[in-house]
Amino acid sequence: MSHIDKKFVETFGQSPDIIAAAPGRVNLIGEHIDYSDGFVLPFAINDRTYAAVRVRDDRKIRIASIQRKNRIVEVNLDVVKPGLKGEWERYPLGVMWAMGLEKGIDIMIDGHVPLGAGLSSSAALECSVATALNHLFSFGYSLEELARLTQKAENEYVGVPCGIMDQSVSLMAQTGSALLLDCRDLTTQNIAFDVASSGLELLIIDTQAHHSLTDGGYAERRAACESVVKKLEIKSLRELDLITLEASRSKISDTEFKRARHAVTEMKRVMEAVLALETKNFVALGILLNQSHASLRDDYNVSCPELNAAVEASLSAGALGARMVGGGFGGSAIALIKAAQVRETIAAVEKVFVENKFKAPRFFTSLPSQGAEIIQRG
Ligand code: ADP
Ligand code: MG
């Protein structure tokens, strides 16, 4: 019996009908452009969130999370609508609402993706729940539909204006590959991402910094991009190229120009990164990571001292490239390093963090892993 199975029985008195798992993610490159209809290149990490579900014969929903001391939250399905107050349980409730659940359930969550570290524990949670419900109730939603529905849950029910990347990769990723995702139409392509055979490793550095700017900062960036789209009368920043942007400088503010320049150059870097992966040119990939970081730091202004220190210390220790990942203002950075230099790199980052009196960082390594799956049927 697995851990979650046992907890489920202890908490709800019966065994679950189904257990699903969905991973967190790291975005290799293509940051802050999912909402501009761009391309992104994330991969799923090994850490995942488990959702165990049992159907009830009434309309009661009972939810518990091992990461929330197993306390049971109970609501009636009829009141599950955007606006219903709550805490973490709004993520799974949002998924139930978006998918059109019509029966009561008992549901237990066990999340192994670090919460709030920029590794998308929120998408892992939503997608584990969505995958379990899709199979249990034979909804028949495709992975693309599940991505849209879980994004809708986070946007409209939880109220976080996230893009479509996190949910897509958590649902669609495949072992050994990064997922090239076209955020305009959700078409995907698996790009072999085999760092290990080249003697490399991807080090994930959780800075443990969470600057309160996050929420407003994210919305402000999205608003700036939307404003450029409006002023230049285009459908999205996807349609823009650098020459047109330069020529349109007088029509937009300096800040808007910088935000749009990040989006335009980052989209190009994603395509170059795909080429670098296909030719196993990891030196070129490293340079693209560095350029992405500089653009996020200087044009998009979403980095912070901790992220910059993590990136710079990794590079000083010999990394081929490094950049902040995720929304910014804290969270994680990644460094592409030689496998033999993992310990040196960790030591270098730790030293700089101590010197700057930053909170101690946490380190993970992960190879590209499998997306959401059913792991047990009762
Ligand atoms: P990230 O997605 O980068 O980890 P978010 O702030 O988007 O950070 O999502 C974290 C939130 O998701 C948590 O604060 C919590 O509300 C919810 N969450 C994620 N995983 C779990 C879990 N296993 N149990 C309870 N809540 C969770
Ligand atoms: Mg999240």
Q: Are 169 and 371 in contact (CB under 8 A)?
A: yes
Q: Which residue has the tokens 């606006």?
A: 83
With a Cβ cut-off of 6 Å, ligand 1 is lined by: 49, 65, 67-68, 88, 91, 109, 111, 115-122, 125
- Indicate the pLDDT class of residue 367, thresholds 50, 70 and 90: confident
Element (H, E) at 292: helix 282-298
Asked if 348 and 304 sit in the same domain, the reply is: yes
pLDDT average, residue stretch 308-314:
98
166: closest CA among 156, 153, 335? 153
Site to substitute for ligand 1 among 125, 126, 167, most atoms within 8 A of C-beta: 125
Asked if 112 and 173 sit in the same domain, the reply is: yes
Q: Report which ligand 1 atom has the smallest distance to the Cα of 65.
A: 24
247 residue type, one letter: A
pLDDT average, residue stretch 132-143:
98
Asked if 249 and 138 sit in the same domain, the reply is: no
- Indicate the pLDDT class of residue 213, thresholds 50, 70 and 90: low
From the CB of residue 78, how many other CB atoms can be counted at a distance below 10 Å? 7
Asked if 51 and 131 sit in the same domain, the reply is: yes
Residue of minimum CA distance from atom 21 in ligand 1: 111
25: closest CA among 1, 57, 55, 49? 49
Q: Which of 60-74, 136-150, 205-219 has the lowest mean pLDDT?
A: 205-219
Site to substitute for ligand 1 among 7, 71, 119, 121, most atoms within 8 A of C-beta: 121
Asked if 59 and 142 sit in the same domain, the reply is: yes
Q: Are 322 and 277 in contact (CB under 8 A)?
A: no
Residue of minimum CA distance from atom 12 in ligand 1: 122
Asked if 157 and 63 sit in the same domain, the reply is: yes
CA of 33 to the centre of ligand 2 (A): 15
Q: Which residues contact 272 (CB under 8 A, 6 or more apart)?
A: 284, 288
CA of 353 to the centre of ligand 1 (A): 25
pLDDT at 188 over 80: yes
Cα distance between residue 340 and residue 349, in whole Å = 16
pLDDT at 359 over 90: yes
Asked if 230 and 358 sit in the same domain, the reply is: yes
CATH of the domain at 12: 3.30.230.10
Asked if 169 and 235 sit in the same domain, the reply is: no
Tens of pLDDT, residues 273-295 = 999 999 999 999 999 999 999 99
Kindly state the percentage of the chain with pLDDT values over 70: 99
Tens of pLDDT, residues 17-44 = 999 999 999 999 999 999 999 999 999 9
Q: Which of 117-121, 155-159, 171-175 has the lowest mean pLDDT?
A: 117-121
- Indicate the pLDDT class of residue 212, thresholds 50, 70 and 90: low
Cα distance between residue 153 and residue 21, in whole Å = 18
Asked if 166 and 209 sit in the same domain, the reply is: no
Nearest ligand, CA of residue 331? 1
Asked if 181 and 295 sit in the same domain, the reply is: no
Q: Report which ligand 1 atom has the smallest distance to the Cα of 154.
A: 7
Asked if 276 and 361 sit in the same domain, the reply is: yes
CA of 29 to the centre of ligand 1 (A): 22
pLDDT at 211 over 90: no
Measured distance between the N- and C-terminal CA atoms of the chain, rounded to whole angstroms? 11
Cα distance between residue 90 and residue 112, in whole Å = 19
* Domain total of the chain: 2
* Longest distance between any two alpha carbons in the chain, whole Å: 66
From the CB of residue 251, how many other CB atoms can be counted at a distance below 10 Å? 12
CA of 124 to the centre of ligand 1 (A): 9
Residue of minimum CA distance from atom 5 in ligand 1: 116
pLDDT at 242 over 60: yes
pLDDT of 112: 96
Q: Are 371 and 131 in contact (CB under 8 A)?
A: no
Q: Structure tokens of 251? A: 């029509």
pLDDT of 215: 62
State the pTM of this model: 0.91
Structural domain span for residue 335 = 193-365
Q: What is the DSSP letter of 153?
A: I
CATH of the domain at 296: 3.30.70.890
Q: Mean pLDDT of all residues in the chain?
A: 95
Residues belonging to the active site = 166
Asked if 168 and 245 sit in the same domain, the reply is: no
Tens of pLDDT, residues 80-106 = 999 999 999 999 999 999 999 999 999
Q: Which of 89-103, 141-155, 188-202, 271-285 has the lowest mean pLDDT?
A: 188-202
3-state SS, residue 232: coil
Q: Which residues contact 328 (CB under 8 A, 6 or more apart)?
A: 32, 214, 217, 296, 300, 302, 303, 304, 307
